[in-house]
Structure 1
């Protein structure tokens, strides 16, 4: 039987409700929640966490679930249990790598530097989806790749990518292993002209939540990118779903007058 909720703030009530509605293992959702608290400074470096009993009462979950969630954070090096004293936030927490969606090409390349990609599905030859209906020209066929992108071994994006086979075939092994956009700039004869980017906020479905270890219906940023060459041919098209807590969009607007 679940314990009655007593003396809870509206925020805690909402957290309890969302934890109860999650489609993930409860300890995974709870570890994500606690991890965000650490990265956002609610529990600063060196701070002592509440006891397992206190966390169990706060979130209205079993103590074994709290232990599992703390085990995930400990494995990531975010917290340190000290026997006889308690559990503390690590003194040096590796900063969470954010993904910039700025409209600057060089900044985008710097953001992607060091990230890794894993292919989940591949179609060797296909056309672009019908939703790509702008004035740009299409190549005859594209290679489709469904990929998970990671930074610091943490999944942050599920990406549906279409890369013109004319470009993919120039260095297939590297395109299979590395982030595609940075390598496009290094491929010989890859004279790129323009990238269009659009962003909208949506929510994670069950599959996306599972891939990125986030709750179902968690906010995600849907980012569409289209890259053309100097002949206005579409070299690259992608639709990526990014974890909402890792995405940063910066822009500068000049004020006239």
Structure 2
């Protein structure tokens, strides 16, 4: 069965769900469609070397105008995901890098390893703020914090919108590094103040308009909210982060030790 037939009979994806996602995206239609097609390719639903449906077929499948489909394919061609062959059609590139899944591990070392290659995009910075209310078990607040709102990316893919608070005394140790890199990764490299514990709590929410726009999701799509607190040996909070993660890119891993009976 060729790729066009696969797409049109629904074996590859649910066309109605795809059209709903496109209708509810806050992005320009051609960008939203290019992201959707990118996901189809990177997840292996259009394997390397596969011929894509024609412009007319894609237009019908996704309920988009031909000019919108053409623009979306142009984005994918510029990114090297597809090849256009004169007189033959459009094909998935022979080599496609799969999407990276973000693993939120309970292990400190594994968590730091996951951060390698991830990039922050700064949205808001405030130099001297108080910490939001802490839960009793989370620790004691420092005198002041640096607040940052960021979008975290892996490659070109945004996967998290995060509000984080970093102890100003920590920030002063490496301000340039904290401004440009992943904050927890910098904390791990510094070695001072000595990190004692990181706690994480997780719950499922629905993406609001702002988060949906920043993460390229439909409004109301499920996102995972992670509240993360890092403390030193004295129980002082060095870092508080509240992030909302794309549910389709994130795996939350934890290990429970079972006591001997």
2:59 aligned with 1:56: yes
Structure 1: gaps spanning 5 or more residues: 1-6
Aligned to 2:47: 44
* TM-score, normalised by the number of residues in structure 1: 0.89
Moved more, 92-101 or 103-112: 92-101
Match of 1:168 among 162, 167, 171: 171
Separation (CA, whole Å) in 2 of partners of 1:63 and 1:151: 31
Q: How far does the alpha carbon of each residue in 1:88-145 deviate from its partner, in whole angstroms, 9 at most, with x for none? A: 1111111222211111111111110122212211111111112x22231110111101
Q: 1:23 to 1:211 in 2, by over 3 A?
A: closer
Separation (CA, whole Å) in 2 of partners of 1:149 and 1:137: 27
Aligned to 2:234: 231
Q: Give SS of 1:170's match.
A: coil
Aligned to 1:4: none
Aligned to 1:33: 36
Separation (CA, whole Å) in 1 of partners of 2:146 and 2:24: 38
Q: 1:98 to 1:232 in 2, by over 3 A?
A: same
Q: How far does the alpha carbon of each residue in 1:37-81 deviate from its partner, in whole angstroms, 9 at most, with x for none? A: 112211111111111111111122211111122122222222111
Structure 2: gaps spanning 5 or more residues: 1-7
Separation (CA, whole Å) in 2 of partners of 1:150 and 1:20: 24
Separation (CA, whole Å) in 1 of partners of 2:89 and 2:75: 16
Could you tell me whether the CA contact under 8 Å between 2:141 and 2:237 is conserved in 1?
Answer: yes
Moved more, 7-16 or 227-236: 7-16
Q: 1:8 to 1:85 in 2, by over 3 A?
A: closer
Separation (CA, whole Å) in 2 of partners of 1:43 and 1:83: 20
CA RMSD of aligned residues (A): 2.2
Could you tell me whether the CA contact under 8 Å between 2:51 and 2:91 is conserved in 1?
Answer: yes
Residues 182-193 of structure 1: pairs in structure 2 closer than 5 A: 182-193=185-196
Residues 149-160 of structure 1: pairs in structure 2 closer than 5 A: 149-160=152-163
* TM-score, normalised by the number of residues in structure 2: 0.87
Number of residue pairs matched by the alignment = 250
Q: 1:140 to 1:254 in 2, by over 3 A?
A: closer
